[in-house]
Every structure is written in C-alpha cells, then in structure tokens.
Amino acid sequence: MLVAYISNQVSISSRRAELQTLSEQIEQQKTQNEEMKRILSGDADDVTEWVARDSYNYAAPNERIFVDVTGN
C-alpha cells in the first residue's frame, strides 16, 4: 500500500513537471504566433525585413546581433 502511494506521488510529480514544460512551450508558441500576426498584418516592407532577418540572418547597417549560445 505504501509502495503504491509513493509510486503515485512520484508519477504526479513527474506529470507536474511535464505540465510546466508544456505550459512554457505553449506560451512561447503564443508569443511567436502574435509576432507572426503582427508582421503579416503590416506592409510588404515589414514582411520583407522580417524574412531577411529571420531566414537569412541579415542585419541593418551598424546593427549588432547577439546570439544566445546558452541553449535557453
């Protein structure tokens, strides 16, 4: 009986951690979706700039781009 209880508690803890991770992924996706909506609702120049920056890693003159290499 005690073993089953402990096993269930471990399972619950694992599922809570998984839920937290999934919730964070959902929030990140919502943020990306909002950014896409904002970009696509703009004019053609905004869309072109976004594609150049996102797909081809272009930057504006005298602009510095910092890359997060920590993996977060």
Global confidence as pTM: 0.56
Across 31-47, average pLDDT: 85
Q: What is the 3-state secondary structure (H, E, C) of the chain?
A: CHHHHHHHHHHHHHHHHHHHHHHHHHHHHHHHHHHHHHHHCCCHHHHHHHHHHHHHCCCCCCCCCCCCCCCC
Q: What is the rounded average pLDDT for all residues in the chain?
A: 89
Question: Which pLDDT belongs to residue 14?
Answer: 94
Q: Where are the domains of the chain?
A: 9-50
What sign does the dihedral 27-29-35-40 (CA atoms) show?
negative
